[in-house]
């Protein structure tokens, strides 16, 4: 199988973001969803509106998100729209809270753990999606990148519990916090497959920004400060290769501060989501890294 290309630039700027996306050579069709994390109020790790505005505008995209399954500033429709507003996303593009009016059940064909994946019902409005992710650590997944953004991120509030609990009947917050960890990681890959099958792989593109590399996710209202320097922007048409490339870049960094993020990833076996997604045929872990700064 031909290796996927992962494009990379150290230029973390609006121009760098557009260049990384442009290198993919894809034309996203119909109405374009741009899936980001709006970030928990109080936190500051989310991708900033000023960074993503030009690319979203170029795509004539709609910024999309879904509600969370935990208490905070994004677990209700009213609170989440306020977060869209407070974090500046309504100032740069149309926004859509995809599970505001319910959810859509997508079949998971050949999944390891799930039979269905529940996503925001407004996903049906879109013909294509840019999965625009902030790569960083995560308190449950080890790290968050493209695969997490497309699985947990596109899932409705109930769908998030469904993934965390691998389809089990008890999806309470306590059940989420005590669920089988390996099964959760595999369920994220199952959910990715459902979204990719629904939209069509030819209608998906993935860009991840490896900056503010905290051990904590955008979903934290009080994230730890990063201990390592920013790396750059990665882009691919293969989400497995993209996440693998971001992980590899952390390990390859000469910055001794990388140890904290590596410990977070390894302690939670974060790479297993990549392994599970590869086993489902969602992409490959071998890739060709194309350095755009040397072109």
Across the chain, mean pLDDT equals 95
What are the two backbone dihedrals, phi and then psi, of residue 226, each rounded to the nearest 5 degrees? Answer: -60, 145
Q: What is the pLDDT of residues 219-237, one digit of tens each?
A: 777 888 999 999 999 999 9
Helix (H, G, I), strand (E, B) or coil at 207: strand
Residue 1 — pLDDT band, cuts 50, 70, 90?
low
Produce one character per residue of 73-112: b if its CB has 16 or more CB atoms within 10 Å, e if not. Answer: bbeeeeebbebbeebebeebbebbbbbbeebbebebeebb
Percent of the chain surpassing pLDDT 70: 100
Alpha carbon distance 82, 146 (integer Å) = 25
Residue 81 has pLDDT above 80, yes or no: yes
5-28 pLDDT, tens digit per residue, is 999 999 999 999 999 999 999 999
| Residue 26 near residue 122 (C-beta atoms within 8 A) | no
pTM here is: 0.97
DSSP one-letter code for 155: B
Cα distance between residue 195 and residue 175, in whole Å: 24
Q: What share of the chain is helix, strand, coil (3-state, %, to 5)?
A: 40, 20, 40
Q: How far is CA 148 from CA 22, 164, 272, in A?
A: 23, 12, 12
More confident residue, 261 or 72: 261
Q: Looking at the domain 4-294, which fold is it?
A: Rossmann fold (3.40.50)
Side-chain half-sphere of 230: how many Cα atoms within 13 Å? 16
Per-residue model confidence as pLDDT tens digits over 20-73: 999 999 999 899 999 999 999 888 889 999 999 999 999 999 999 999 887 778
Domain boundaries along the sequence of the chain = 4-294
116-152 pLDDT, tens digit per residue, is 999 999 999 999 999 999 999 999 999 999 999 999 9
């Amino acid at each position: 199988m031909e290796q996927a290309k992962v494009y990379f630039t150290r230029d973390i700027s609006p121009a760098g973001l557009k260049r990384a996306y442009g290198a993919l050579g894809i034309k996203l069709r119909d109405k374009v969803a741009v899936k980001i994390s709006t970030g928990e109020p109080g936190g500051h790790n989310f991708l900033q509106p000023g960074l993503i505005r030009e690319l979203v505008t170029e795509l004539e995209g709609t910024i999309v998100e879904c509600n969370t399954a935990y208490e905070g500033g994004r677990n209700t429709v009213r609170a989440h729209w306020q977060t869209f507003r407070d974090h500046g996303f309504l100032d740069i593009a149309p926004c859509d809270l995809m599970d505001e009016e319910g959810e859509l059940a997508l079949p998971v064909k050949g999944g390891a753990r799930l039979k269905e994946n529940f996503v925001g019902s407004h996903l049906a409005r879109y013909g294509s999606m840019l999965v625009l992710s902030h790569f960083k650590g995560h308190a449950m997944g080890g790290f968050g990148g493209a695969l997490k953004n497309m699985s947990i991120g596109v899932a409705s509030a109930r769908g998030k519990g469904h993934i965390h609990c691998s389809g089990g009947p008890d999806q309470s917050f306590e059940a989420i916090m005590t669920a089988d960890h390996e099964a959760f990681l595999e369920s994220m890959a199952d959910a990715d497959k459902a979204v990719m099958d629904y939209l069509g792989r030819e209608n998906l593109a993935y860009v991840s920004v490896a900056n503010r590399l905290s051990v904590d996710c955008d979903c934290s209202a009080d994230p730890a400060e990063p201990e390592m320097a920013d790396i750059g922007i990665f882009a691919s048409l293969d989400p497995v290769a993209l996440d693998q490339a971001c992980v590899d870049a952390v390990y390859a960094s000469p910055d001794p501060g990388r140890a904290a993020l590596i410990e977070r990833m390894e302690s939670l076996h974060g790479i297993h989501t990549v392994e599970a997604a590869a086993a489902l045929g969602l992409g490959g872990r071998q890739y060709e890294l194309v350095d755009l700064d040397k072109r």
